[in-house]
Amino acid sequence: MLKPLSQHAADLATLASSTRFRHLIPQVGIDFSSNDYLGLASSGLLAEAAHTALDHGVPLGSGGSRLLRGNHPEHEALEAEAAALFGCESALFFSSGYAANACLFSTLPQRGDLILHDALIHASAHEGMRLSRAEARSVRHNDVQEFSDSICAWRKAGGTGTIWIAVESLYSMDGDRAPINDLLALADIQNTMLIVDEAHATGVFGETGLGLAGHLEGRDNVITLRTLGKALGCEGALLCGSVIMRDFLVNRGRSFIFSTAPSPLMAAVARAALRVVAEQPERRNALWQRVQIVETLLAPLGIAASGSQIIPITIGDDVRTMAAARVVQAAGYDVRGIRPPTVPEGTSRLRMSITLNIALDDIVGLTRAISEALV
């Protein structure tokens, strides 16, 4: 008879033998791996917002689900301010981007619908699709023509439900952008819904940090996800869209209905973060200056610019990738190696993220360390 968890132990041993066993690593070295793009996570601005909220009696915990006593005025204020800032009808606050995506995809698409998703879409979207009653199909990365062909083929085969196109505006492991305008045109022509995950673009792109899909807000066929734990430096996520979207999730989204509401204190801090992003464009300007410097220094090493604050250095082999990461980390720079299944087989890489937590000297030193690691 097998001992309890023996199969789990065997699976872990397989991961270890293939060098894919994950470890939790402390925060050591200069930050070239976080998503704290605007340096807000440890900022005095957000700390002050938290202190002010506490002084005014905002509680740490909500005490229950939003449909019971957990619905706090700070939640509603955050959602109202976010809707006004992003230009959408309504917004709904979740504890994380993962929770928001899982609720969205498991709730909104119905039986008889079709979800067409980019092949590189986030794991949280896959979790929601796994729970969904709708059929889900993968489409080649950033291939608008395949999206179009898949829509036509499905309808020709008798599909009559709603089609949901799901993409990220900025992909977290490649740093490349989705063809948002072309996808919107396709959604309009084919009468489909368009879901855009703006996790890595919110706060970074656009004149007031509205992201790469900010110009799409307010349309009845568009839903965006905006995480608060990356450029906004706090925690949680907002689903932005129509009032119907919000009301349906509140009434039918099981992970929303049966979850304790997010911290009201975090909602208050998120409100402050939205104001900072909207009112301080100099943060984005400073970030893009750093990105340009990094791109210039990496170019002689044959490392191409991604056009964003996320710069992948694809090595391919798992072992070589992790060895290179250790060399860079030993030099004092926190750059992580990324392996399958997070990225496709044969594309293991170092993932660099540029943030306001670094200085010019740090960039020069990192470039030197990467050069030595790739030898």
3 state DSSP class of 19 = coil
Which candidate in 33, 169, 172, 357 is catalytic?
Answer: 172
Q: Is 3 a catalytic residue?
A: no
Q: Of 31, 33, 35, 62, which residue is the catalytic one?
A: 35
- Catalytic entry in 33, 122, 259, 334: 122
Strand partners, 137: 116
Q: Which of 72, 75, 117, 200 is catalytic?
A: 200
Residue for token pair 């964003």: 308
Give the residue from 199, 237, 203, 67 showing the smallest Cα distance to 122: 199
**Cα 306 from chain centroid?**
17
Helices (H), 233-359: 243-252, 254-257, 264-279, 281-298, 318-330
Residue 215 a catalytic site member: no
- Beta strand ranges found along the chain (DSSP E): 30-31, 90-94, 114-118, 135-139, 163-168, 193-197, 222-227, 237-241, 310-316, 333-334, 336-338, 348-353
172 is catalytic: yes
CA angle 120, 182, 100 (to 5 degrees): 45
Specify the pairing of strand 90-94 against strand 237-241.
antiparallel
156 has catalytic annotation? no
Q: Among 36, 79, 113, 197, which one carries the catalytic annotation? A: 197
Q: Is 230 marked active-site?
A: yes
200 tagged catalytic? yes
Concerning whether 56 is annotated as a catalytic residue, the answer is no
How many whole angstroms separate alpha carbon 125 and alpha carbon 227?
14
Q: Which of 118, 168, 174, 198 is catalytic?
A: 168
Show which residues are catalytic.
35, 122, 168, 172, 197, 200, 230
